[in-house]
Structure 1
Amino acid sequence: MLIFSVFKTLTDQQVTVELKNDLSITGVLKSVDQFLNIRLDSITVLDEARHPHMMAVKNCFIRGSVVRYVQLPAEHVDTQLLEDATRRGKMH
């Protein structure tokens, strides 16, 4: 549940989610669950010319199984939480 814990600390921060269909969406992270289902508000699409149907969408729910990458704001990532979880993982 390391990833889930990291994402919970990033609520209300701007993230970029790249989907398996090459759609990249930037928005404010509102919620995430243990399956990496993500809710974003105030979204923008990085390649608007390729995805013009997304121009009118202001918020979205992304199913975790379609997520390829999530770009996190480095300044808001809790590195201590990551280091502690990594140490716990090596002990087991």
Structure 2
Amino acid sequence: MAITGVLVSVDQFLNIKLDNIKVVDEERYPHMLAVKNCFIRGSVVRYVQLPAQSVDTALLQDAARRERQQPAASGRR
């Protein structure tokens, strides 16, 4: 099932809360027409697609660069 909506929150387990949802294939899932918001358990999520204009790639690149520059954890050998 594919659902679109407004992302409200995501936690560390990839549990997702969406508002103003719409099911992509309404004919196959007519019972979902009345649902306006939902909680999706992270263990059932296969893909998350975000609009390209909504992603701050500079911020992601900076975070990846900082993570790469950090020294390795002292407990690993």
Report the alpha carbon displacement of residue 62 of structure 1 after superposing the two structures with TM.
0.5
1:44 aligns with 2:19: no
1:78 aligns with 2:56: yes
Q: What CA deviation, in whole Å up to 9, does each residue of 1:39-68 have, x standing for no partner?
A: 101100000111111111110000111111
Which residues of structure 2 form unaligned runs of 5+? 71-77
Tell which has more relative contact order, 1 or 2 (C-alpha 8 A, sep 6+).
1
1:32 counterpart residue number = 10
Percent identity (aligned): 73
Compare the two structures and name the one with the higher strand fraction.
1
Which residues of structure 1 form unaligned runs of 5+? 1-22
Report the alpha carbon displacement of residue 90 of structure 1 after superposing the two structures with TM.
3.2
Query: What SS class does the counterpart of residue 70 from structure 1 fall into?
Result: coil
Query: What SS class does the counterpart of residue 68 from structure 2 fall into?
Result: helix
Distance 2:53 2:68 in 1: 26
1:10 counterpart residue number = none
2:66 counterpart residue number = 88
Larger Rg: 2
TM-score under structure 1 length normalisation: 0.69
TM-score under structure 2 length normalisation: 0.81
Query: What SS class does the counterpart of residue 27 from structure 1 fall into?
Result: strand
